[in-house]
Chain A
Amino acid sequence: MKQFFIGFVIGTVVLALCVLAYLRLGLAEIRADAATPAWATQWMLSSTHASVRHTVPRDLKSPLPAGDETLIAGGKLYLNDCVGCHGAPGKPASDFGATFYPPAPQLAREGTQYSEAQIYWIAKHGIRRTGMSAQGSSYSDEHLWQLAAFISHITSLPPRVRDALQEKAGK
């Protein structure tokens, strides 16, 4: 048993040293534009998703009334601040968003798997080790909830909301 224990400790130390050497020798790919295997990206996305699900309280709910006005207010914020990386509804994907690794999700084209409360939380706190910064210091909670309402409906906006925002974008 003692032999097993010594083996386990040595295995642990060797593994840790290998990882450390790999990183310290500069062998880790750090270029954002280098090709990445799909599984690695998938792995990172699913870990992030798991962390968000695990951390966001289940009873967290928007205090705002559901409805077109909230969506329009959120859409205006989105068009001002988020489109640069995440893409605008009805427009081609953002070239700029694609130059990050991990790439910025093209919300306007792909929608999102996150719930409204989870989107609120992500916008507020940001996502570590990505280009997504915490917006909690620049937006009020009300604005963050408006944004969350808009993003959770971004691929299925009511026509009235779409028209109102198009008018804004046209100006």
Chain B
Amino acid sequence: MRLFLLGVITALVALPLAAFAYFRLGLADVRSDMRPPAWETRLMQSTVHASVRRGASGMQAPPPGNLDDAILEGGRLYRNGCMGCHGEPGKAGEDLDHYPPVPQLPQVGTQYSDPELYSIVKHGIRNTAMSAYGPFYSDKQMWALASFLRRIDHLPPGMWERIQTEQTPVSSAN
């Protein structure tokens, strides 16, 4: 029994030390353009999903007023601030330069709810290229973005054209 406990304790001490040494010796590859094994990517994605769900649970989206206006406003914000990395509706693209790769939202859509999208935009995601936009957008703008993002891969017909051409009033940043 004593030997058994010693074995448990040895594992609990030796494994963190091994992980520590692995990083300190510079053995972890840090290049964005080299992809880590698929299981690592999957584990990281599910960690992010779980944490976003937990963080936004119980949060309610405010009633959108006019939904079309919200999508229009969100779409215009997307065009200005997000499209450079996340892709343009109707155009194929792939991100090979960031790791984790930036999701090409118009192609893949999103499984997050409005409150979850709102929190991601506001707080960003650490250890990714997604920065926090809370300091730059008003709450109303971020909820509008969420309304747009949730529908980005199935926008109502003609909506993207309207977003590109129509001069809708964009609310001020407070």
Contacts and interface: CB of A to CB of B under 8 A. Distances in A.
Contacts of B25: 50, 54
Contacts of A11: 7-12, 15
Given A27-B54, A31-B123, A128 B99 contact: yes
A4 B7 contact: yes
Contacts of B8: 7-8, 10-11, 14
Interface string B107-136: 000000000000100111111111111111
B26 interface: yes
Nearest to A32: B124
A96 B25 CA distance: 32
A30 B126 contact: yes
A50 B33 contact: no
A31 B7 contact: no
A12 B11 contact: yes
B47 A126 contact: no
Contacts of A96: 131
A128 B47 contact: no
Interface residues of B, number: 57
A133 B32 contact: yes
Contacts of A23: 43, 46-47, 50
A46 to B, nearest CB: 7
B174 to A, nearest CB: 16
Given A27-B51, A34-B123, A99-B135, A126 B97 contact: yes
A130 interface: yes
A17 interface: no
Contacts of A6: 4, 7
Given A26-B55, A47-B24, A134-B32, A100 B98 contact: no
B92 interface: no
B34 interface: yes
Contact of B30 (A1, A51, A133, A135): A51
Given A10-B7, A55-B29, 5 more contacts: A5-B7, A7-B4, A11-B8, A32-B126, A50-B25
8 contacts: A4-B7, A30-B55, A31-B124, A31-B125, A32-B131, A51-B23, A51-B29, A125-B34
